[in-house]
C-alpha cells in the first residue's frame, strides 16, 4: 500500500522530552504550552479535530511557537494536505532554524514530493548546515541531496509513459493492487481490498483472478479456495499458473497465523491441481521471526525472492531483498540477501524477478531518485551478483511512492497500481509500454498438452527442459493431472531439449532453437505418449549429428541418458534403434550413414552399461520418409533416429 511522509517518529522523539526538567520550549507562555500539551494527548487518541483547535489557540497566544507548527504540519501530512504541511514547516525553519534543524529535512522531503527539486536541495543543505542529533536523518541527508540533484536533471528528460486502465472487468471502486501474471499473459491474479462486515474495520484483502480472451479481460472472480476472512496479499504466481506464493500476517490463532515459532508476516504456498487451489502451507524453511513478504517466484521454478524487514513501533524497517533456492533434495536453502548493489541501508521492497531470470525490478528509497519509493531495474552479472540499479525515469517515477511493478514475459508491457484521476475509485491497475532502455530480455513460452496416444486421455507427466549448450536441466515439473497441460518459459538465445516421460510409456522428445527465433512467438505442442508395448515407436529428436557424420554431438547426451534410464527402469525391454536420412546424395551413401548412426547410439548405450543383447541397430537410409523431401523442413524430419519396442 502507499506510504505517506510522516513527522511522527521525529516529533515523538522531541515531545517525549517535554516532561523532562531540562527541556525548554521555544516560548514561555504557560497557557499556550498547556494548549499544546493537551493537543499532543488528543492527537495520540486520534481526536484530530480537537487537536487542531487546541493548536490554533496555542499559536494565537504565541505566534512564534515552533513546536505547535510542527504538530500542525504532522496532522496536515496525515491528512494528505502536503501544501499546508510545507507552509507550517517553512514558518518553523524561518523563525528558529537552530532549535528545529530536523524540520529542514522534512521540508525537503515534502518539496521532493511536490517535485520542487531545487528548493528541496536547499532544504537538505540547510539541514546539514545546522546539524542534527538524529543519526538516521543525518545518514539519509547526503542521499537526498544527490536525489534532488538527479531529479532536477531527469525531470526535464521524461521517458515515454502512457498508462491505460485495465477496465471495469478488473478494476472497481475498491482498491486493486499487487498484480501477478502467468507467462502467456492470459491469467492475471491480484489483491483487492473488499468490504467485509465480519472483520474489524469493515475491510480485508482477498485474491481475484481474471482471464484474457483475445485482447479483453474477462470479469475478475474471487479465488475462493484461498480467500478467508483474514488478509491475503502480495501474491506471485509461477510461470505456468500452477503454484501460488502469498503473504499473510494474522496474529497467532488466526487461520493463517504464525505457528511453530513463526511470527509477524509469513509466506505461504498453494498448488493448483485440476483447476483448483490446494490448502496453503507455511513455507517454514524460508520464513523467520521477522516480516517476510512480497514474494516473487522465478520462471524456472527454483528461486524465491522476497522482502524481509524488522517490525518496530514506527512500522517495518530495514527492508532488504532476500532469496532462497530449491536444492537438489527439494529443500529450501537458507535465505540470504541478494548479492550486489541492490540492497541499501534504507528500504527495498516490491521485488519482481522477470521470467528471463536476469532482470530484477524493485522499489527503493535508498538510491538516487525522485522523492519517495522509486522503481528500479538491475541486471544479473556474470558472477551472480546484481548490478548497479537503474531508475526507470520520470514520469514512471514521481515525487511520491511507486511500487508493485509487473513486467510481461515479452518485456513490452508493464502493470502497476495507481490512484490517479480518471479511474474507477481508489487504486486501479494500469498497463503501459515499458521504455526500451529498461526492458528485460524478451521471453517466449512453450505450452504443451500431454495425452495417451490411443485413448486421448489427459496425462500427468514429468517434463524436463534442458539447455543444450550446458546439458543442464533448466526447468523440471509436471503437467496437470486432470488437464494434461503445462507451460514453461523459454528465454532467448539458447537451444533447448524437451523430454516428457511417464511410467509405463515411451518418453517424448523435441527441441527448440531460439538463437534466431522471434521471442514474441510462443510454441504449442500436442504430446501423445505411446504405451510401452511391442511396436510402439518414438523419434529421438534430441540426438544430433553433423552433416554426413555419424559422430554423436555432445548435445545428444541428455537424450541418450534419458533412453538409458528408460532401459534401466524397464529391465525386460528390448528395442530397435534405427537411423533414417533424407534423399539428398546417393542411396548407397545414405544407407551406410543411417546404419552407422544407429550403431553409434547403440555403442553409447553399451558404454553406459546397457546389455548389448537388448539393443538392435538398423539403418533404413532414405526408404522410410515421414515427410516430403521436397522442402527443407520435410528433409529435416526425415533425418532422424527412432526407437521401436521389440
pLDDT in tens, 593-627: 999 999 999 999 999 999 999 999 999 999 999 99
- Which tens digit of pLDDT belongs to each residue from 275-314? 889 999 999 999 998 899 999 999 999 999 999 998 776 6
Q: Indicate whether 146 pLDDT > 50.
A: yes
| Nearest alpha-carbon partner for 175 in 375, 431, 432, 424 | 424
pLDDT bracket for residue 18 (50, 70, 90): very low
Q: What percent of the chain has pLDDT over 70?
A: 93
Does the domain formed by 8-154 have CATH 1.10.3720.10? Answer: no
- Which tens digit of pLDDT belongs to each residue from 427-451? 899 999 999 999 999 898 989 999 9
Query: One fold for both 168-438 and 532-646?
Result: no
pLDDT bracket for residue 13 (50, 70, 90): very low
- Interatomic CA distance for residues 342 and 338, integer angstroms: 8
Q: Indicate whether 345 pLDDT > 50.
A: yes
Q: How far is CA 530 from CA 334, 511, 538, 539, 584, in A?
A: 42, 19, 8, 11, 31
- Interatomic CA distance for residues 327 and 331, integer angstroms: 5
Contact between 558 and 471 under an 8 Å Cβ cutoff? The reply is: yes
Domain positions in the chain are 8-154, 168-438, 443-531, 532-646
pLDDT bracket for residue 519 (50, 70, 90): low
- Interatomic CA distance for residues 207 and 177, integer angstroms: 10
Q: Indicate whether 462 pLDDT > 60.
A: yes
| Cα pseudo-dihedral 267, 406, 518, 641, rounded to 10 | 10
- Which tens digit of pLDDT belongs to each residue from 128-141? 999 888 888 998 99
- How is 607-641 classified by DSSP, letter by letter? HTT--GGGEEEEE-TTSS-SS-TTSHHHHHHHSEE
Burial class (CB in 10 A: 0-12, 13-18, 19+), 559: buried
Buried b (16+ CB within 10 A) or exposed e, 511-534: bbebeebebeebbeeebebbebee
CATH class of the domain at 532-646: alpha beta
For domain 168-438, the CATH superfamily is TolB, C-terminal domain (2.120.10.30)
CATH class of the domain at 443-531: mainly beta
- Grid coordinates given for 485: 497441460
pTM of this structure: 0.86
Higher-pLDDT residue of 518 and 181 is 181
Amino acid at each position: 500500500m502507499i506510504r505517506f511522509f510522516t513527522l511522527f517518529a521525529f516529533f515523538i522523539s522531541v515531545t517525549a522530552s517535554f516532561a523532562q526538567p531540562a527541556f525548554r520550549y521555544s516560548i514561555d507562555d504557560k497557557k499556550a504550552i498547556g494548549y499544546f500539551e493537551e493537543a499532543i494527548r488528543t492527537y495520540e487518541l486520534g481526536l484530530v479535530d480537537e487537536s487542531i483547535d487546541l493548536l490554533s489557540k496555542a499559536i494565537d497566544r504565541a505566534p512564534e511557537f515552533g513546536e505547535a507548527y510542527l504538530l500542525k504540519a504532522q496532522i496536515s501530512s496525515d491528512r494528505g494536505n502536503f501544501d499546508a504541511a510545507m507552509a507550517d514547516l517553512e514558518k518553523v525553519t524561518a523563525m528558529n532554524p537552530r532549535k528545529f534543524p530536523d524540520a529542514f529535512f522534512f521540508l525537503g522531503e515534502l518539496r521532493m514530493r511536490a517535485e520542487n527539486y531545487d528548493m528541496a536541495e536547499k532544504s537538505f543543505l540547510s539541514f546539514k548546515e545546522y546539524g542534527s542529533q538524529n543519526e538516521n536523518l543525518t545518514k539519509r541527508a547526503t542521499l537526498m541531496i544527490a536525489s534532488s540533484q538527479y531529479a532536477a536533471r531527469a525531470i526535464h528528460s521524461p521517458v515515454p509513459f502512457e498508462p491505460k486502465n485495465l477496465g471495469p472487468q478488473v478494476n472497481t471502486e475498491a482498491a486493486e493492487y499487487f498484480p501477478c501474471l502467468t507467462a502467456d499473459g492470459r491469467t492475471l491474479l491480484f489483491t483487492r481490498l473488499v468490504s467485509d462486515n465480519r472483520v474489524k474495520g469493515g475491510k480485508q484483502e482477498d485474491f481475484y483472478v481474471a482471464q484474457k480472451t483475445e485482447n479483453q479481460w474477462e470479469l475478475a472472480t474471487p479465488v475462493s479456495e484461498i480467500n478467508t476472512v483474514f488478509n491475503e496479499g502480495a501474491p506471485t504466481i509461477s510461470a505456468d499458473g500452477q503454484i501460488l506464493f502469498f503473504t499473510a500476517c494474522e496474529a497467532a490463532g488466526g487461520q493463517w497465523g504464525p505457528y511453530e515459532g513463526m511470527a509477524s508476516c509469513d509466506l505461504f504456498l498453494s498448488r493448483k491441481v485440476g483447476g483448483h487451489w490446494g490448502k496453503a502451507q507455511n513455507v517454514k524453511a524460508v520464513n523467520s521471526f521477522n516480516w517476510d513478504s512480497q514474494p516473487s517466484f522465478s520462471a524456472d521454478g527454483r528461486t524465491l525472492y522476497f522482502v524481509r524487514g524488522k517490525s518496530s513501533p514506527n512500522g517495518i524497517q530495514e527492508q532488504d531483498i532476500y532469496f532462497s533456492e530449491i536444492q537438489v533434495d527439494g529443500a529450501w536453502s537458507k535465505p540470504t540477501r541478494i548479492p550486489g548493489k541492490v540492497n541499501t541501508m534504507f528500504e527495498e521492497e516490491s521485488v519482481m524477478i522477470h521470467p528471463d531470470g536476469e532482470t530484477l525490478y524493485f522499489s527503493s528509497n535508498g538510491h538516487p531518485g525522485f522523492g519517495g519509493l522509486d522503481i528500479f531495474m538491475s541486471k544479473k552479472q556474470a558472477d551472480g551478483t546484481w548490478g548497479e540499479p537503474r531508475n526507470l525515469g520520470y514520469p514512471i517515477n514521481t515525487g511520491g511512492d511507486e511500487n508493485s511493478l509487473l513486467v510481461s514475459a515479452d518485456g513490452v508491457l508493464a502493470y502497476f497500481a495507481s490512484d490517479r484521476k480518471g479511474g474507477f475509485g481508489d487504486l486501479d491497475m494500469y498497463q503501459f509500454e515499458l521504455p526500451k532502455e529498461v526492458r528485460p530480455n524478451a521471453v517466449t513460452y512453450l505450452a504443451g498438452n500431454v495425452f495417451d496416444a490411443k485413448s486421448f486421455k489427459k496425462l500427468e507427466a514429468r517434463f524436463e527442459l534442458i539447455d543444450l549448450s550446458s546439458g543442464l536441466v533448466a526447468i523440471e515439473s509436471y503437467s496437470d493431472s486432470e488437464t494434461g497441460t503445462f507451460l514453461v518459459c523459454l528465454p532467448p538465445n539458447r537451444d533447448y531439449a524437451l523430454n516428457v516421460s511417464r511410467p509405463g510409456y515411451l518418453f517424448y522428445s523435441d527441441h527448440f532453437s531460439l538463437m534466431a527465433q522471434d521471442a514474441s512467438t510462443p510454441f504449442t505442442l500436442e504430446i501423445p505418449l505411446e504405451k510401452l508395448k511391442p511396436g510402439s515407436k518414438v523419434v529421438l529428436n534430441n540426438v544430433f549429428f553433423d552433416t554426413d557424420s555419424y559422430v554423436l554431438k555432445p548435445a545428444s547426451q541428455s537424450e541418450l541418458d534419458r533412453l538409458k534410464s528408460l532401459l534401466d527402469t524397464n529391465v525386460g525391454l528390448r528395442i530397435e534403434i534405427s537411423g533414417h536420412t533424407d534423399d539428398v546424395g546417393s542411396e548407397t551413401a545414405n544407407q551406410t550413414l543411417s546404419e552407422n548412426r544407429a550403431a553409434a547410439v547403440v555403442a553409447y548405450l553399451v558404454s553406459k552399461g546397457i546389455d548389448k543383447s537388448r539393443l538392435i541397430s538398423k539403418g533404413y537410409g532414405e526408404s522410410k520418409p515421414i515427410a516430403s523431401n521436397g522442402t527443407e523442413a520435410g528433409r529435416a524430419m526425415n533425418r532422424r533416429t527412432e526407437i521401436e519396442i521389440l
